[in-house]
Amino acid sequence: MKILVINAGSSSLKYQFMNSETGEVYAKGLCERIGIDGRLTHKVPGREDYVSETAMPTHNEAIKSVLDIMVDPTYGVIKSVDEIDAVGHRVLHGGPKFTASCIIDDACIAAIEECIPLGPLHNPANLMGIRACQELMPTKKQVAVFDTAFHMTMPPKAYIYAIPYEYYEKNSVRRYGFHGTSHRYVSARALDMLGRKNAPEGTKIITCHLGNGSSLAAIKDGKVVDTTMGLGPLAGFPMGTRSGDIDATIMEYLMGIYGYDIKTMMNILNKKSGVLGISGVSSDFRDLAAAAKEGNERAQLALDKFIYEVTKFIGAYAAAMGGVDAIVFTAGVGENDFRLREKVIDSLGYMGVKMDKAKNDGCRVEADVSSADSKVKVFVIPTNEELMIAMDTEALCK
């Protein structure tokens, strides 16, 4: 099927028009500055990018401009919108209700709305994308694919927080986890690479999604048993600009000293922390590596901290599952930064995991980069969340 995949943010919207069976991408692009002025960047493989300043007061005009360019005689890839078989949406927070993707109907929209307090920045934007598509393509089936859904197999001991139980019962406070679509895609690929695609029972995989935002998942028998992110995507280990887990006392302490309100404090933890906060240089790992090479000690400390925490969580998840068969690296950092992968794996030597440095050096494609005598496989697997969304959409719309 030909699926339009939509990832709507508050002022931007990414799209990909693709074949859900072959993974072929016909066109993809980005609407930016929605609600401000508006810019569309449209990419078709083998052609020059098309960029235009187009007024986008709301998500409706953004989707309209996407549909217009898709059918444009010069820059488009289809003759008519009828060629789009269905639409798949990335939705951030599915709360406790959504354990899988679902067809978007009134009940589904109401449930996504209910989850707004859990995903206050993303869910409203996701809903704007859904509503715009409903208005502009009223006859097309639409599917919601949740970032949290794959993690919903976690056992209570992994998802419960040690705070009064009533907050879980009354307010749904628990670990949810994010990047679920990515963890699902790469763990399915890893099972295939292990020759266990149809027999996941007994397998133990740790997936490391290391990008701007980062998370790890422990996946036993093909199902998530733990993950680093929590109620929201701030938890876990340090990221580009997010702190990861911190002692909550720090918040009280700094709010007391500087008179910050909770919004300011959360902004510091979300936007000014992580490897950016430690280094003062950048949230981009390429900049950090360059600065560290030139002797910048804080950039080196930020990288050391990141590697240390990733290594620590891998050890914790191996303990949680009673072993590990494969460690998977994915997303911007995991797919590209082979030196960082090497450092993580080198510090896990006690587990009997060994990297084949020749295979790992410069590897950016799907590959087994572990040495022949490694007790644990190490895989690099470029993630493909859009394909996963397209496949779910096809499965539900057939």
Q: 74-113 mask for ligand ADP (x: CB under 6 A)?
A: ----------------------------------------
| Catalytic annotation, residues | 147
Binding-site member from 125, 333, 355, 388 for ligand ADP (CB under 6 A)? 333
Q: Is 302 in the site for ligand ADP (CB under 6 A)?
A: no
Binding-site member from 47, 79, 197, 286 for ligand ADP (CB under 6 A)? 286
Tell me how many residues contact ligand ADP (CB under 6 A).
Answer: 12
Task: Choose between 39 and 339: whose C-beta lies nearer to ligand ADP.
Answer: 339
Exposed (0-12), middle (13-18) or buried (19+): which is 202, by Cβ within 10 Å?
A: exposed
Q: 232-271 mask for ligand ADP (x: CB under 6 A)?
A: --------x-------------------------------
Q: Tokens 């799209």 — which residue?
A: 15
Task: Choose between 331 and 348: whose C-beta lies nearer to ligand ADP.
Answer: 331
Contact present, 66 and 31 (Cβ < 8 Å): yes
Task: Choose between 172 and 212: whose C-beta lies nearer to ligand ADP.
Answer: 212
Q: Is 337 in the site for ligand ADP (CB under 6 A)?
A: yes
Question: How far is residue 319 from each of residues 25, 215, 286, measured CA to CA in Å?
Answer: 40, 17, 32
Region of 67-75, 155-163, 186-194, 209-217 interacting with ligand ADP (CB under 6 A): 209-217
| 3-state DSSP assignment of residue 286 | helix
Least distance (Å) from ligand ADP to the CB of residue 229? 12
DSSP letter (8 states) at residue 370: B
As a whole number of angstroms, the distance between CA 283 and CA 273 comes to: 9
Closest C-alpha to 179, from 115, 143, 135, 227: 227
Closest C-alpha to 153, from 226, 207, 89, 92: 226
Task: Choose between 83 and 284: whose C-beta lies nearer to ligand ADP.
Answer: 284
Task: Choose between 61 and 335: whose C-beta lies nearer to ligand ADP.
Answer: 335
Question: How far is residue 187 from each of residues 35, 148, 250, 304, measured CA to CA in Å?
Answer: 37, 15, 35, 26
User: Residue 222 has which token pair?
Assistant: 């093909």
Question: Which residues make up the interface to ligand ADP (CB under 6 A)?
Answer: 211-213, 240, 284-286, 331-333, 336-337
